Amino acid sequence: MSAANAVSITLMIAGIPMLIPALMPLFRKQYDRRVFLIAASAVLHLVATLYAISIGISACNPDATGIGWLMFMLSFLIGLCAGVTLLCAAFCESDGKIRFGNRKTPIPVLMLGCVILPVLLASIGQHFYPEINLVQYGFSLSILLTYLCFRREAGVQIETKAADLELRQAKLLTEQIQPHFIFNVLMSIQNLCYQDADAAADCIAQFAGYLRGNMAALTADNLIPFEAELEHIRTYEALEHACTDQPFVLEYEIAADDFEIPALTVQPIVENAIKHGALSRRDGAGKALLKTERIGQCIKITVSDNGNVSENLTAQQKTHQSIGLKNVENRLAVQCGGTLNISLNPDGAKVTILIPEKGAISRADNYR
């Protein structure tokens, strides 16, 4: 084995540890398509490198026809595929689609530089020292730098998402503190003051509790126990009873309550079910139902009502979601990987929330 061959093999072996960070996500359960593409590129490059090392060790002459030539061409083509895969990873957007033009986000120039420049510089080095195989090492460096660049970008995305979440929470607070609701409660309390001072005092305490629950939601970064959300729902129900003359019933079928959810996710849905469902019935038979159950690895929360849903609704109207519900859906998805589904039937509306039981996908995992 010549000295140049030995240096080439040493460099190729030195490049293999650089692939480890890019390969690690393959052993995790959650990764997005960009990470997968980088890892796939690392696997292909690893195969190409092993081929090249075996060629170097066996000292096959690729110039001659036969197995040496075949192995070299195989290694070259696999390496080329790895390069194309890495370029695809650079052009892959956060939604997993590979776009060149008409992108939602700018083309990552830094990441492209990380993909191209090390290979280019290595190939130029090889141009001046043809005996030493530098391209394999350069490509290993490319994969490592691309992966690090991706991690950095993912970190920035997490920060952006966290800022977005804060904004959503602020919007949520604005939506929750509705002036007309506050006005109705205060007017009801005023009436109660003349009729029953003790009841008025209870109502004020409940109203304070309701406002405190809303305020706490703004500062809650993490999930809260379902019992706390349930308590907030009961406070809201009591206030609604105090403020409206129209009777309604809110039934509870709580089969599971030992899980966590994002703050103020079920209460706005219950509020919708009462205001637009149960209270829409003029016959006084308005009813809403809050039900929780454990199904497999999921917690299913169902809020249904027997309100009047017009049969003349269009498909678009049936699938329409208010800003509040959209907000709830987004927070469920971001904070605990949950889903929200709404169905409108002639005999009432039904909202179903599904949350993974171990609550429990952290925000960071979603974007890793």
Partner 1 sequence: MNILRSSVFRSICRVETMILILMLMMPVVIVFMLIGSYSILHFLLPSAAIFTTLRMLMVISLANHLAEASAASPYFNESKNWFLMQCVIEAVALMLNVSMIVLKNTFMRIPHTRYFLMIGGYLVYLVAQQLFTCFAKDRLLRGFCAVWYFCGDDPVQGKGVRVTFLLQIMSSILYAALVAFITLFPSLTMIAYGLVGAAVFMLLLVQFRITMHARKTALLLAALSE
- Which positions lie near partner 1, rule CB under 8 A? 62-63, 72, 76, 80, 83, 87, 100-101, 103, 106-107, 109, 112-113, 116-117, 119-121, 123-124, 126-128, 130, 135
Residue 127 or 282 with smaller CB distance to partner 1: 127
| Residue written as token pair 């992966």 | 147
d(CA 165, CA 218): 10
Please tell me the distance from the alpha carbon of residue 339 to that of residue 300, in angstroms, as a whole number. 10
Q: Tell me whether residue 106 or residue 296 sits nearer to partner 1 (CB atom).
A: 106
Please identify, using beta-carbon distances, which residue of 148 and 361 lies nearer to partner 1: 148
Question: Minimum distance from CB of 15 to partner 1 (Å)?
Answer: 15
Q: Nearest approach, Cβ of 10 to partner 1 (angstroms)? A: 18
Q: How far is the CB of 11 from partner 1 (least distance, A)?
A: 14
CA distance 216 to 226: 14
In whole angstroms, how close is the CB of 154 to partner 1 at the nearest point? 19
What DSSP assignment string belongs to 70-138?
HHHHHHHHHHHHHHHHHHHHHHB-TTS-B-SSS-SS---HHHHHHHHHHHHHHHHHHHH-TTS--HHHH
- Least distance in angstroms from the C-beta of 141 to partner 1: 14
Beta carbon of residue 278, minimum distance to partner 1 (angstroms, whole number): 46
Decide if 325 contacts 273 (C-beta within 8 A). no
CA 93 – CA 34 distance, rounded (Å):
8
For partner 1, the closer CB: 110 or 360:
110
Measured distance CA(216)–CA(249) in Å, rounded: 27
Strand partners, 249: 287
Q: Which is nearer to partner 1, 35 or 90 (CB)?
A: 90
Closer residue to partner 1 in complex, CB, 132/351 = 132
Name the token pair of 95: 């939604």
